[in-house]
Structure 1
Amino acid sequence: MLPNLINDLWVLLASLLVFTMTISVGFLEIGELNHKLDRSLYKTLIITGFSLFFMGLIGFNIAFAPTIGGVIGNPFYSNIFMGLFSTNLSGGLSGVFWLTGRNFFDTGLSTGTYFLFETAFASVTLALVGVVVLRKMKMSAFILFSIIYFIFIYTLPAAWIWNPTGWLYLMGVRDFAGGLVVHGAAGFAALAILVRIWQEEKKKGLKQSKIEHASLNSGWLTLAIILLWVGWFGFNPGSELAFTSETVMVVITTFLAAASAMVSTLGTKFLISKHDPGLIYGVNGVLMGLIVITPLAGYVSPGSAVILGLISGPIFVYAEKLLSRPKWYSDPVGVLPGHLVGGVFGLLMIAFFTQTAFATASGASNLPNGILFGGGIMALHQFGFEAFAVAVVGIFVFTASYLSVFAISKLLKGMLQENEYTDQIINNTTKP
């Protein structure tokens, strides 16, 4: 008999919703750039399958098993695949994973349920990184990077922040559903790949990066945002790891932040351009609101969620404008202004908007009230913890990602998709 059937069923449903977000990112790429379907969908299929295999093999243990010195989970805890090759039900079905006991109010999730939920998060994270690859990176290079990412790059920050024995968690860092572990980290990894792409393009004689221009497909773009918005129903509320009244509150804060951000994004863009912003800014506004609320959805009131959403819109518009100026990289889908800026901003807002009543109900009883709610010196300390986590995770993910793609590039004698560059090199060579 499962330890707690209701909680297990809820988190299983949330896992499936989050898994749909991976393919939805592919739809988003198709919708914004009007790409051919095969490459984008093939990429998301690879990500989904590889996440399940390599997270199950060893990645899940590295992230969520009892850590060694607070740095890395025991890779062989309960044997590989979490003991799921056991000949009885004590492995993945009836056994309660060590993490989901008293730390989460005895929610009693089975090992298999928790594995699927966290693996879905890993899958979405790499899908976000993969958006900057576009048609530039060899599929073989992306596959090799995927393996490294699921075993090493994604799992260590998860171990530090989400594992109750992780060193950043013990310091006091909190990240409700992945503002830094998912979105911020995806942005730092994407930036590292963009740097390596730029270096290889420069060697090929290009004056600037091959720019991918937006060419909207409204049908695919609308489908993508609907699926992503619904998927976030599992992403944030599922992070409660139980079906409680606070779970419903997280649904409300998540959806209100998204709607408010859409309103403020459209309004800001209209005031700047004096014309209808169009579908693309509506979509980006929703995404920005969802990203910003992610790290603190369980710690804030609905009113605070609305305020965060309204602030998020202008931040996205101006971040996009600023980050679109450099010509050495191409980020047409907005991974940097959306996921990197939004994820980091949302994480830092924990120190401003947290209310202890909501945080305690979500399992973060040690979080103080935010600065805006009288948290005082304790809230300032919390801001320091979160800012320190951004620096540590940012440096690690960027460095590890860059070294990985650098090594892959050397192994494959270049990681760029050759046929995308031939014509441009002929017509746009750098003069000596």
Structure 2
Amino acid sequence: MTHPSVTVGLNTVWVVLTASMIFFMEGGFALLEAGFVRQKNQVSIIMKVLADLIFGALVYYLVGFGLMFGRDWLGSVGISGFALTGSLAHLPSTIPHPAFWLFQAAFAVAAVSIVSGSVAERMNFKAYILYIVAMAAVIYPISGHWVWGHNGWLGRLGMQDFAGSTVIHAMAGFACIAAATLVGPRIGKYDKNGKPLSFSPSNLPLAAVGTFVLWFGWFGFNAGSTLNAQDGAISSIAMNTLLASVAGGGSALLYSLFKTDKADLGATVNGVLAGLVAITAGCAYVAPWAAILIGAAAGALMIWATGWVENLRIDDPVGAIAVHGVNGVFGTLMVGVFASRGGVLFGGGWHLLGVQALGTVTVSVWGFGATWGALKLISWFVPLRVSAEDEERGLDISIHGTDIPHLEPGFLLSDDQLWERRRLMRLIAGMSAPPTDVKE
């Protein structure tokens, strides 16, 4: 039998390591979103993700953690544990309190970063910082307490959300709907008839690298939620995570290939992420075959939901609503169907599915409503949106002062301009000879 001090030591290393993997996912968010937005807004979106971590972690330490994991009040909110002080006896005893906080802070920051992409390219940075404070300090912790907190009312009903399909993803995904709606679509996104127009991503390879970083971190996201280095379920959780993600990417890839005869990279990476989101609730509760079915359905559902969101004239540059909101709800519901204990297909009846439905709808509505209220309040102090002039120039220059010349997709130099540029570059380099290519 492992000595208690050794158990605590192993668990501490495991939780700190997996928390670090989740924090590293912020790099994935930054790369993914920078690749999906236009080049003139790449610095802007990276600054938003940096601000998520800087301000999100701080306010979650001061306020959010206590509201989420403090001593329960009426099943609705925590009332102790602010800045890790006061009554903490109800926290897990197998790891130190700072390690538990670190892991949960990584989740809180991820929840905020989901929203950053949905308001990319047009939200006022000052307003966004205030929203980070509202989300990490109040919005996410309160609904999180209902499911994961000590004696939270949805947890008491038996809701099962192992690593956060609803607590993190559905809540933040529906917050994206409120945020993108209030901020409004980007200039030129819809024509005069309301038809959505396509804005080419600046760098899809960069977005793909971001997806690989998120994919890596997700193993910490899900398997780390055991909070126990000796839990025998770690390997099956990791396996289910992989199976669902490749099934999601595969279904999105094949859907785009057979529908358009083109294997779409953007759809494929979002399909992978959709599979990851969907399996996050049930990774510890379902069999591998069920993980594959859930992931495959999530990839196809993401493509449908992306079109649905666009038709509603909600401008979501990175597809956060379809990936996180829709598939967070879907994945949580699938626990009620496929869970080995309590699922409909395993003789559990309809109780668990009903609880899952109640929980995911309630938390999603909370994410939407609380975000709507927070942004309305913020708008009394600072504008939610940048000026049209700043938006057209690009937020990198107008908001962050990065005076870097950009070539937007579709901006091409003429042959004469290219020849002249090569001639000038050779002169600058001290080469007297003209370019070897002949000007037509």
TM-score (norm 2): 0.82
Could you list the runs of 5+ residues in structure 1 that have no partner in the other structure? 84-90, 102-107, 357-367, 424-432
CA-CA distance at 1:277 after TM superposition: 2.1
| Aligned partner (choices 374, 392, 398) of residue 368 of structure 2 | 398
CA-CA distance at 1:2 after TM superposition: 7.4
8 A Cα contact 1:188 1:394, kept in partner: yes
SS at match of 1:296: coil
Counterpart check, 1:269 vs 2:240: no
| Aligned partner (choices 91, 102, 127) of residue 99 of structure 1 | 91
Identity %: 29
SS at match of 1:295: coil
Counterpart check, 1:152 vs 2:138: yes
| Aligned partner (choices 150, 155, 180) of residue 169 of structure 1 | 155
SS at match of 2:184: helix
CA-CA distance at 1:97 after TM superposition: 5.8
| Aligned partner (choices 384, 388, 391) of residue 415 of structure 1 | 384
Q: Report what 2:345 is aligned to.
A: 372
Counterpart check, 1:307 vs 2:285: no
| Aligned partner (choices 67, 70, 73) of residue 72 of structure 2 | 67
Q: Report what 1:281 is aligned to.
A: 267
Q: Report what 1:5 is aligned to.
A: 9
8 A Cα contact 1:212 1:332, kept in partner: no
TM-score (norm 1): 0.83
SS at match of 1:100: coil
Counterpart check, 1:321 vs 2:321: no
Q: Deviations over 1:50-99 (max 9, x none)?
A: 1221111121011011211111101x43xx4103xxxxxxx9xxx98632
Q: Report what 1:220 is aligned to.
A: 206
Q: Report what 1:119 is aligned to.
A: 105
Q: 1:297 to 1:60 in 2, by over 3 A?
A: same
Q: Report what 1:17 is aligned to.
A: 21
Q: 1:310 to 1:242 in 2, by over 3 A?
A: same
Partners of 1:148 and 1:260 in 2: CA distance: 35
SS at match of 2:161: coil
Partners of 1:395 and 1:263 in 2: CA distance: 31
CA-CA distance at 1:323 after TM superposition: 2.1
Q: 1:170 to 1:39 in 2, by over 3 A?
A: same
CA-CA distance at 1:159 after TM superposition: 0.4
Letter in 1 for 2:338: F
Q: 1:125 to 1:214 in 2, by over 3 A?
A: farther
Partners of 1:212 and 1:271 in 2: CA distance: 21
CA-CA distance at 1:17 after TM superposition: 0.5
Q: Report what 2:83 is aligned to.
A: 81
| Aligned partner (choices 258, 266, 290) of residue 276 of structure 2 | 290
Counterpart check, 1:53 vs 2:58: yes
Structure 1 segment 127-138 matched on structure 2, within 5 A: 127-138=113-124
Partners of 2:312 and 2:59 in 1: CA distance: 36
CA-CA distance at 1:111 after TM superposition: 0.4
Q: Report what 1:382 is aligned to.
A: 352
Q: Report what 1:87 is aligned to.
A: none
What is the aligned residue count? 384
